[in-house]
Amino acid sequence: MVNTKRILMVLTSHSKLGKSGEKTGFWVEEFAAPYYQFLDAGFDVVLASPKGGQSPIDPKSELEDFQTDSTRRFEKDDLAKQAVANTCKLNEIKAADFDAVFYPGGHGPLWDLTENTDSIVLIEQFLSGNKPVAAVCHATAALLNVKDSSGEYIITGKAVSGFTNTEEAAVQLTEIVPFLLEDELVKRGADYQKVDDWHPLAVQDGLIISGQNPASSELVAQKLIKHISE
């Protein structure tokens, strides 16, 4: 019997865009594209978030301009919506039960996944268990405070991507976000990788797979699938 691979997807529970009065959450495309790649590859997918229950969707990501085949599929998929509405609590998740973890972006993770102890411990467990950790766009923030057994930041010296300063400026949120992801990745000593704004980029360095922006989500998922299928 074939042992089905299990992927954990960690979504944000954070819905407020700083003090702007606007809403945020996860970016639909960055969830939907990988989610369907995993399902179509025959994997089991489990969704979790810091608080459990409904993970908030960034309302901007539902605008017509940002729709793709994957987001349209999600829009018609009641089972997927139910899964997003009933995420498991992160502190109840065990890395041992999964083959890999994927963090979709959106601005939410900057607030609730950067310093979340449950998430940090989980990522450490995945890596020490020789299992890949993938993140796209702002969700690379989840890697910022993860350390290895010798107390070094896991991204120091590693090729990593994430939302750029110029992309943040383009969406006019430089003054609203708690920090600029590109700057923080560089401060941790990461070998920060980027291409032109809004172009796809996915990089893999060992067990760490990351993507620059929403356009990169499918590429990151493909690298993760390839890694755990080999």
pLDDT tens digits, residue range 69-89?
999 999 999 999 999 999 999
Task: Go through the chain and tell me how many residues it has.
Answer: 230
Tell me the per-residue pLDDT of 93-124, one tens digit each, with 9 for 90 and over.
999 999 999 999 999 999 999 999 999 999 99
CA 12 from centre of chain: 9
Structure tokens at 69: 């085949």
Average per-residue pLDDT for the chain:
97
CA dist., res. 49 & res. 228, Å (int) = 23
What local confidence, expressed as pLDDT, does residue 196 receive?
Answer: 98
Tell me the per-residue pLDDT of 169-180, one tens digit each, with 9 for 90 and over.
999 999 999 999
Tell me the per-residue pLDDT of 187-203, one tens digit each, with 9 for 90 and over.
999 999 999 999 999 99
CA dist., res. 57 & res. 84, Å (int) = 9
CA dist., res. 124 & res. 187, Å (int) = 20
DSSP string of 145-164, one letter each residue: T-B-TTS-BTTTTSEE----
Structural domains in the chain plus CATH codes: 6-229 (3.40.50.880)
pLDDT at 1 > cutoff 70? no
pLDDT at 3 > cutoff 80? no
Q: What is the pTM assigned to this prediction?
A: 0.98
What local confidence, expressed as pLDDT, does residue 2 receive?
Answer: 57
Give the residue carrying structure tokens 């920060």: 192
- 121-149 average pLDDT score: 97
> What's the alpha-carbon Rg for the chain, to the nearest Å?
16
